[in-house]
């Protein structure tokens, strides 16, 4: 297993329910280990994942498919 992290920046403010929905959607993706929002910068989403099973662009598209504008941020 190759453990990786990706940081996803959301362009708009979102509420707690929206955050929970995003996290739930990402947890359903095979290979995702731990999606979580940064408590100090709530527009940043850190996702730990198995890069042997899923690609960071798939994770980004999962967020975008929910109607959010987002982009990957280099770590």
- CATH number for the domain running over 3-73: 3.30.70.100
Q: What is the chain's length? A: 75
Please check the confidence at residue 9 and state whether its pLDDT lies above 80: yes
Q: Mean of the pLDDT values across residues 59-75?
A: 93
Q: Residue 67 region, left (φ>0) first, then alpha (ψ -120 to 50), else beta? A: left
State whether residue 18 is helix, strand or coil.
Answer: helix
Q: Mean of the pLDDT values across residues 23-51?
A: 96
pTM here? Answer: 0.92
Quote the pLDDT of residue 75: 57
**Residue among 19, 17, 67, 21 at smallest CA distance from 43:** 19
């Amino acid at each position: 297993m190759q453990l990786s992290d990706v940081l996803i920046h959301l362009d708009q403010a979102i509420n707690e329910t929206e955050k929970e929905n995003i996290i739930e959607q990402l947890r359903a993706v095979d290979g995702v280990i731990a999606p979580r929002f940064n408590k100090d910068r709530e527009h940043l989403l850190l996702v730990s994942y198995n890069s042997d099973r899923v690609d960071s662009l798939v994770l980004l598209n999962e967020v975008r498919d929910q109607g959010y504008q987002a982009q990957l941020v280099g770590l």
